[in-house]
Amino acid sequence: MRSTEALERNGNTATLLESALDGAASQGAETELVHLYDLADTGCTSWFACKLKSGKSYGKCAVQDGLTPVLEKIPDVDALILGSPIYFVTVTGMMRCFMERLIFPYHTYTRPPVSLFEKKIPTAFIYIMNVSAQQMSEYHYPVHTGLNEHLLARTFGHSETLFSFETLRFPDYDKVIFRYVDPEERKERRRTVFPVDCNKAFDLGTRLVTSQ
């Protein structure tokens, strides 16, 4: 199982991903956590080299950089979990770049489109965000998160999504201009609600392993 995290090493996203990996490990899975910001990712350059007939990069990303070793391991994993905070209504730019290079090479320009990924593996996406579940709907976040789930499912097989709402974003709110919420309420949610989300992540990791 591989898990790819989008930002802080010790932040909310990383904590939930670690919980998911703990769940997978509890079932005997070997796990790895990858921090995208540690890698030199030049992004998709849209050469369409992954679509050229009889091309040496057909069905895989042709770009060679720090992300290449990660992409080359994907065909050998048995499950995949992505994680990102929601920034400005959608995932981080780094996660979006990763998804383009992960998913696009496996898709064909055919009717209907098919996936070149040679097996079915379960996948999941974990999101953390400032807003509540109601606000997520009002702000149309599901347009983006639903599309991500659809792309993962179409490429790899089954996919599911886990949300963590109204997370504690700053260790010290006095150091930032942030009047969006009451910091004490967020600290209380961190104490009472976030552990529940970690348990859900643990169960998710367990489920992905045992569903195979």
Q: Which two tokens stand for residue 62?
A: 């042709």
Could you read off the pLDDT of 89-138 as tens digits, one per residue? 999 999 999 999 999 999 999 999 999 999 999 999 999 999 999 999 99
CATH code, 23:
3.40.50.360
Q: Which pLDDT band holds residue 7 (cuts at 50, 70, 90)?
A: very low
3-class DSSP state of 131: coil
- State how far the Cα of 212 lies from the Cα of 209, in Å rounded to an integer: 6
For residue 5, pLDDT beyond 60: no
Q: Give the rounded distance of the alpha carbon of 1 from its chain centre.
A: 13
The predicted model scores a pTM of: 0.93
The number of distinct structural domains making up the chain is 1
Domain of residue 46, residue span: 2-210
Q: What is the mean pLDDT of the chain?
A: 93
Identify the sign of the CA torsion 75, 145, 38, 190.
negative
* Percent above pLDDT 90 for the chain: 84
DSSP 118: S
Could you read off the pLDDT of 80-100 as tens digits, one per residue? 999 999 998 999 999 999 999
